[in-house]
Amino acid sequence: MAKLFILSAPSGTGKSTLAGKLLQQVDGIRRIVTVTTREPRPGEEPGVDYIFMSKEEFEEGIEKGLFLEYANVYGNYYGTPRDQVERNLEEGYDSLLVIDVQGAFKVKKMYPDAVSIFLLPPSMDELRRRMIGRGYRDRNAEERLKTAKGEIPCAKSFDYIIINDFVDKATQQLKSIIMAKRCERDYVLKNLSKLLPNEEVRHLIEGGECYVKET
């Protein structure tokens, strides 16, 4: 009953920052580390922020079926490692995928029960400011903004939408979505022995009958 959460957004919206804060606050969830062929940015740690591969290594991985999904974005490959997702599901850990919009649709098609969350910028001006703050040059920033204008309408196809105007508020909203999904009836009943140590209450739920008869 482990769940798969997909966090997607246009480039520069802040999904990686949000994911990092979430993982500090919520237990039992692991981030799926994306594989990419782009060069590491300052401060990025291989294996933690991204798994870095050469183009040749990545294309060999495609042939071997190592990725749930992959795409070429701005001249670099990005892919979701299949083994990380499958291992988490087997071990009972929730998975957090931080991926672009086209990747989100591909994964949702393969895992219809996955919970998809779209992160919106508060404005296009703020998105442009964040992109420039990340070091993108004007031409590159404008290209990404153009792509973002095509991605933002995709939010209508996601299960949840969060506006990232204030990072702490957005983190709390993301956390609330995950905690609420963990309180769904089927999830709780499937994991009752882990979630409810008290045997008396557990036995009542598992074998008792509700005294109110449904009409």
> What's the pLDDT tens digit per position in 106-160?
999 999 999 999 999 999 998 888 887 766 665 677 888 899 999 999 999 999 9
Domain that holds residue 25: 4-207
The model's pLDDT over 1-30, given as tens digits with 9 standing for 90+, comes to 789 999 999 988 999 999 999 999 999 999
> Domains in the chain: how many in total?
1
Does 212 reside within a domain? no
What is the reported pLDDT for 11? 86
The DSSP 8-state label assigned to residue 93 in this structure reads: -
Q: How far is CA 70 from the centre of its chain?
A: 15
145 domain-assigned: yes
Q: Does residue 215 lie in a domain region? A: no
Query: What are 164-186's pLDDT values in tens digits?
Result: 999 999 999 999 999 999 999 99
Whether residue 69 is contained in a domain is answered as yes
Handedness of CA 104, 191, 91, 110 (dihedral sign): negative
Quote the radius of gyration of the chain (alpha carbons, Å): 20
CATH number at residue 131: 3.40.50.300
The reported pLDDT for the residue numbered 32 is: 96
Indicate whether 214 belongs to any domain.
no
In a domain, 27, yes or no: yes
At 138 the pLDDT is 58
CA-closest candidate to residue 102, choices 132, 75, 79, 83: 79
Enter the tokens of residue 135.
């070091």
**What's the Cα-to-Cα distance from 212 to each of 153, 188, 190, 200, 215, rounded to whole Å?**
45, 21, 23, 20, 9
Residue 213 lies in a domain: no
Beta strands 35-36; 76-81: pairing state: antiparallel
Going by DSSP bridges, is the β-strand pair 115-120/35-36 parallel, antiparallel, or unpaired? unpaired
Look at residue 52 and tell me if it is in a domain. yes
Tokens of 111: 């895992």
